[in-house]
Homo-oligomer: A and B are copies of this chain.
C-alpha cells in the first residue's frame, strides 16, 4: 500500500471545506484593501532563494535538478518569487502596487504540530509606498484579516530595526558584535543574551537596561536613548504616528511595541511586526512582516517595499483550538427514484434544480427508499425528493423534510420554490 510522503497531508472533504472557507475570506479581505492576487510557479531557480536568504537555506529546501540540468527548488516562501515576477513584468505598473498571494510552500523540516513540509501561506507585498499611512494600512490589514477570519485572541507586536540599531549604537555594540545577539533576541532567550552581552564586556547596569528596552511596550522609554541620532528620531516619530493611526483609523487598540522583533533576515529595514495567537502555545506566530529591501538585491530599480505572510495552516489550527464554528456544507435535496422507470425522471429533476444554483444528489445505486434515506443523512441532505410513478402521472413528487420528517406532494414545477422556502 502506498503512503503519504512524511510531513505532508491529505485534506479530506471536511478539511477542505474549512480551508476553502478561510481562503475565500482571506482573499475577499485582501481585495477589500485594493490588493490584487498574483501567482508564481511552485518551483524557481535555486539561486533565487540563496540570493535572498544565503546558502544556509539549501539545507531546508527541496532542491533538485530538472532533466535539462537546471538547479531548481520548491519555493520555501513567496516574497522572493513575487519580487522576481515584479522585476520581470510589473516594474512599469502605476505605484503603489498592491499584490497578494495564497500558495503552497515547502521546507524540509522536522514535522511537528503546526509545522509541515508542505504548508500554505497567504501574504502580500506593497511596492512603491512607505508613508506612515501605507505602513499602518499594511499592518492593519494583516490584523483585520486574522481577526475577521475569526481568530478571537490575537496579539500584535511592532518593532523597528532602525530604533533597535540606534539602541545598539547607544551601548557601543558594534555591527560585528550584534550578529551573535540577533538569534538570541529573535528567540527571546534573554538569559543567554545577558551572558553574551556580559562576555562582550557590557556593564551589568547597561545589560539590565537594554534587556528592559527590548521588552518594553512603552515607546517613550526609548526616547532618551536615541537622542541626537537623526534617523532614529525620525523613525521614532514614524512609529509614534503608526500607533496613533492604528488606533484612530483602524480601531486597533491592542498593538504593542516590541523592539525584540528582528525577523532574522538581513533584507528587513525599518518597521517589523508579528501577530500571534496565544492559544497555539510554542508555535503561536501567525504572521510576520515589515519593510524590506529586496528589489535592488534582485537587480530591480530602487523602490520602497513592505509585506507580510500569514501562516494559513496555523490560522486554521488557531480557529480549531478556539472552537470556531465553521459553516457546514449540505445537500439541498437527495433525489430518489422508486423504481428503474423513474431514473430518467429523477435525473431530469436534478438537472433542472441544479440550474437554480442548488446542490442536488441523486441515488445512483437503485437501493430501497430506506437505505437511500439513510445515505442522504450522511450527506447532510436537507430534503429528499421521492420520484414515484403515481405522483409522476400528476407531474408531482414527494418532498420530504429530512429534519422534521414531514412529507408533502409537490408539483415538479414548484419544487425549487419549496426547496428555497424551507
Contacts and interface: CB of A to CB of B under 8 A. Distances in A.
B1 A88 contact: yes
Contact of A96 (B8, B16, B357, B364): B364
A365 B3 contact: no
Nearest to A365: B129
A406 interface: no
Contacts of A27: 20
A370 interface: no
A189 interface: no
Contact of A1 (B140, B299, B343): B299
A6 interface: yes
Interface string A218-256: 000000000000000000000000001100111100000
A344 B249 contact: yes
A3 B250 CA distance: 39
A343 B244 CA distance: 12
Given A1-B299, A250-B347, A39 B10 contact: yes
Interface string A342-362: 011101100100100111111
Contact of A347 (B43, B133, B347, B358): B133
B2 A84 contact: yes
A417 interface: no
Contact of A32 (B74, B134, B354): B354
A190 interface: no
Interface in A247-290: 248-251
A82 B331 CA distance: 23
Interface residues of A, number: 101
A94 B378 CA distance: 8
A28 B357 CA distance: 8
Interface in A59-75: 59, 62-68, 70, 72, 74
A328 interface: no
B2 A298 contact: yes
B360 A32 contact: yes
SS class, residues of chain A in contact with chain B: mixed
Given A136-B347, A347-B245, A361 B42 contact: no
Given A12-B38, A90-B12, A360-B32, A6 B68 contact: yes
Contact of A131 (B42, B244, B364): B364
Contact of A2 (B9, B48, B67, B72): B48
A43 B63 CA distance: 13
A13 interface: yes
B12 A364 contact: no
A206 interface: no
A391 to B, nearest CB: 18
Contacts of A344: 244-245, 248-249
A326 interface: no
A5 interface: yes
Contact of A34 (B33, B41, B250, B359): B359
Given A9-B41, A134-B365, 5 more contacts: A1-B298, A12-B90, A34-B360, A36-B329, A245-B343
20 contacts: A2-B88, A4-B44, A5-B44, A6-B70, A8-B43, A9-B41, A10-B41, A11-B38, A12-B38, A15-B39, A16-B36, A32-B359, A42-B74, A43-B118, A59-B67, A67-B108, A128-B365, A131-B366, A137-B362, A248-B344
Interface of A: 1-6, 8-13, 15-17, 19-20, 27-28, 31-34, 36-45, 47-48, 51, 59, 62-68, 70, 72, 74, 84-85, 87-90, 94-96, 98-99, 104, 106, 108, 118, 128-129, 131, 133-134, 136-137, 140, 144, 244-245, 248-251, 298-300, 329, 331, 343-345, 347-348, 351, 354, 357-362, 364-366, 375, 378-379
